[in-house]
Structure 1
Amino acid sequence: MKTLFKKYLLLPLMAVSLLTSCQEEIIELNEPNESEVITASAPLASLMSRTSLNDGSFDNIIDRNSCTSIELPVTVIVNGIELTIDSEDDIELIEDIFDAIDSDIDVLEIIFPITIVLSDHTEIVIENMAQLEAFIQECSEGEDDDIECIDFQYPITFSVFNSDLVVINTVTINNDRELHDFFEDLTPNDLVSLNFPVTLELADGTEVVVNNNTELEDAIERAINACDEDDDNDFDDEYADITKERLTELLLACPWSVDKLEINDIDQEEQYVGYLFSFLEDGTVKATSNSTMVLGEWEIIVTDLGLKLAIAFNDLTDFNAEWRVHEVDDYAGEIKVDLRNGDDRLRFEKECDANPTDCSEMFVDDALSICKWRVVSFNGDDNLIDISIDFSNQNIHAYDAQGTIVDEGNWGTSQSNDGVMVSFNDLTMQLVDIAGDWLVTECAGSRFKMVSGSNFIVLEKDCGDADGDVAQIKEWMVQGEWLVANYNDSGEDNTALFANYILNFMENGGVVATNNGTIEGTWNVFRDSDSVLRFLMNFGPNTPFDELNDDWTILEATADRIELKDVSGNDGSIDILVFEKIL
């Protein structure tokens, strides 16, 4: 089969040596530039040939080597289950079966005969495992000549010249195999040139257009080590060398659900259906469901054996471990992070696409116009969180806890080369720090992150009190006097700091603490974008109540008692605050 193909391809090249019989068939093209001519010995010929080699690494789970690939379809038996693999995407099914049970011995049996394809696209029929094993033994793991991080977009065409640089033919190349054979058949006397422009695709999907030999050679050379070619024989490590930066980027991009959780050989994921885990830049992780929010901490640890994801909750102890990053799987647009801790297993699945390129001006306009919003983070601080912002009708009306307007302005969106821009205009009072133009970098219906130079803000939606809980808690708080019954600061009991203080929470959003003098502050109750009830307090720098300045999570509330919780600092330690009514 290959011999016939070569004979077919050689026909236009034979014309180079048989000029007398072909002169009448000369193709009229522009006179070529000598610098664009490629010979068999040219460095560019070698680079293009290496780019056209067959990559045998995609099916290592079947043939256990990167020097060959198996021509599909192929039938295999995986842990007793018979599968027909019709495409590269189907190979994922094999790994899913292997991963389904961690404690078993994974066995894959190939149904012979099969056809393997070598790096030079030669096809060989293999009748049994012994014959395949011979090729496996000959393949040096991690060592091959193919360049896998860049690919030609076909078709491409070559012009063929005689010794006087007159075009005598053109050859159209439609795939890697034809390109490889084209260069393999070049003789030292053959002269060809590639017809530009030519488009190439990098491993990340980026397209590169080149217009001459120099640009093409540079593009290929830059791509040689630009990606992980996965040429080892461990099929199950697609992202074993994922960087800390890339994993951090993935985790921060958007919330995650629990796809699998197995502790002590018992499946636990059912009890976490509906939970979303949000990994935040400050090292905290927020687990939320319809009625619960739990805060913890997370950290990526770099070890000699790869990365670990350390998770620590006070309440959700099933997740507490330094989980080894076993695999990050990007399959058919679904991203999963598979973690292991001994025999225990945790797999998170990405629950939304936070890619700002998918964000439109219309989406931002519609989202900001619904409900009110809060700046939950300004460069990592929450000093603006007690301000409620109404963006309706392209206007800005900002209110403090007492309902007093603290700033006004207007806003609009525009499209830049980098994405959607949001402009906050005419702000001169408490929101003056966010005035200006901001690039949307995280785009969701209830949360936006925006950057401007070295500054960033995070906006979260505040849709009020649909179920009446906010109004009920506020009603309880303004009725009677309160004291600090418990203040546990990262495990240390500091309740004594507030001994003899009596607190009065007022309807106008003010709070007064009295003890041989008064300390004044503000308070508010609201439901955040994740439907979690929050209790906000700000006493400014006034000790000891400056300890309580924060937006606390409400764990429990009754007419006579309210228990609050907060994660303090980057170490994930938990603060507990309890107010009790003086009866």
Structure 2
Amino acid sequence: MKSLFKLTLTFLVFAVLTFSCQDEEVIIENPSEEEVIQPGSSLSNLMRMTVTNDGAQDNLLDNSSCTEIVLPVTITISETTITINSLDDLWMVAELLNNPAGNDGIEFTFPITVTFGNYTQIVIENQDQLNSIVEECLTEPEVIECVDFVYPISFSIYNTDFQVIDTVQINSDEELYVFLDDLDAANEGAVLASLNFPVTLVYANGNTQEVNSNQELETAINQAETDCNNEGCQEEQVGYYLTDCFWTITSVGDEVGTLSNYYLYFNEDGTVTVHDGFTTVALPGLNWQVEGTTTGVYLFMSDADTYLDAVNGDWLVTSCGAEMLVLQKDTDAEVVELVLEKNCTTDESPFSCFSNTTVTACDYDADGVTTFELETLVLGNVLCDYDFTPSFHVSHADAEAAMNALPFPNSYQNTSNPETIYLRIESNSGAFQVFEINLVAEPCATDCSEADVDGFLQTCAWNIVNYNGSNDLIDFEFNFDDNQVLTVTGMGATYTGGWSTSQSANGGVEVVFDNVAGPSIQAINGSWIVIDCQPHRLEMVMGDNHMVMEQQNCYSSDELYTIATECRWEVYSYINDQGSDVTSDYDGILYSFFENGFVVAENGITIGYGGLTAENTATEQLVVLLHLYNSVSGIGNYYTVESLSSEEIVLSSFGDAELIFHRTCNSTNQDGDTAQIKTWLYEGNWEITYSSMDSADNTSDYANVTFDFQQGTNLIGSDGSSTANMHYEVLRDEAGNLRMVIDYLGIFPYWQMDDDWYITEVNNQRIELHYINDDANDESVIVFEKI
């Protein structure tokens, strides 16, 4: 934008010099000094300060008034990562930094872009670069924050003969800044400009003012600078502050201190809990809501009892902070001011931790009566910073009087359905509050159908993770065949039995196990009612018995290859079929997996290779065959994929072997040379012009054979009548040697190429491979040349 205006003004000067003798000149009277925007004048400087990019508004992020971070930007504060999409989100940053855990400061996710006061931008790649820019900010730019121009505005452009030569329209702060900057830089006043009035200004509070001359504009901007206060809090900030702690009423109107004994707690459900500090008892409360409008942020309070009637109304937030809020409301007679101050220490009340609530429990026999574990259901999930004493009562009167508390609340049986009981919470000061607890006994029938349960059970294998509170049966693996045969494997043995499903009388699903005869596992025989049904988890009851079954992980081959082909992998743990930990045998070996099933394993200059094939069984378990050659072959086996994530792959064999790979992305076997060689290989077909095997020339074996090196490590060999699908990879080993691995053990003659070769000579037309890293050694050699 800046270069555009420079070009425009330069052109205008050129036009003045070139066309000064035009026949039809538009002559106007010499504009007065008050009408011209003089470079470096007070008005010019005030206008520039008004439209200078305000780097101070995000100082919480970069601690610099010279720069503004271009949003959105992602930051991390003490392991909490958030994205700041606008300046309205900065309150979240403030709260994270105010938390004791936020002492580590802000970590940016680079690169980021910053804008300077003159609207130029640069990209910052790291923290050191950002620190340097912040340290260079020795003088903060002068910015007038709370007044803006209403665009568009326009300027008339004159030459030194006071001819009107153009009208320039301005549409933004940035355009106006660049225009003023270029006007100052014009050749010794060769171009003059005057602002076309009227011009409208808008203030931070939403009010507008129309000005009609340079003098009026200068006065208005000066007054705005004098009256300028920081913009008020955002709606989210006010809500966050109010719900953070207790607040006291410092003053309302002319009354100072008369209501200061009342402590207000703004609950997130829109109610306010009020405590009288003198009597330490809860009083009738009121309702509240915060809403942002075009004229500001309002706190609406209503339904306050007579003792707090003065706080009812629509209050405009005129000043706000974490410790104090100043509000105003208009009445017929006057403007009333309300001042609230935070008070987190006067009354450490636990009441904000609780609310009226409904809890449900499973009604196994659908008779409307069941047992409620009240302490677990109501109190178990409560996180409260204040001490309290709870008690449960069957009537509100008993709760208020602290009488007849339930002696065993964790085994309470309801007497009606639904039923309301009462929770009394008492603070250390003796104040209390009573909450309603609505009890509902629900039938245990689930939303799943019999067909759903059948489908879940026949997908993958299952384990019993909980049987009457114990995981003793977790080592047994259950496979449900579609012919209702149940196969149970575990403890070194395999058992068979039967299983079936049916619709129960109350609309739920029953699962029946029969003829399961193994020790311990025979306890599952019988008819179980499904009370919680999810695709990977089934919870069931049979009389007083309770059982939870969970599905083992099921993955697809696509998921496996997608994860495995990211970076390289190392053996984190390997327990072989004999139960021995042989992890150390594979230290330092890095494995590369490819989408076509090719595998390369590197350890120094030793390279092993092979394949990884994957297939889902009838029960959707993913089974893989890992086969490798050379010194890494020991981990080759059939495995089941037990766990799959971006950082870890866990495999278990059908014996007792367990193989765990961890991802490592801090090294690579690729560089510019390997990339260039692959590019050459892709660019056409190749042929073998020389080959020796065991020092014997066997070039003729490859007569009429062409080779197509494809992307994705596929290598196709063809003699016109037969085709061989091979794998290959070009890499640089840990000793710095260029290598080519060719994997194939199929038909003649291609199996002769199977090896980890050294690349001894290469260009875009010819590649020479040696089994021994010596270009003079003729023991085993292959020379490819482009056709």
TM-score class, shorter: 0.3 to 0.5
TM-score, length-scaled by structure 1? 0.42
Rg larger in 1 or in 2? 2
Of structures 1 and 2, the one scoring higher in RCO (CA 8 A, sep 6+) is 1
TM-score, length-scaled by structure 2? 0.32
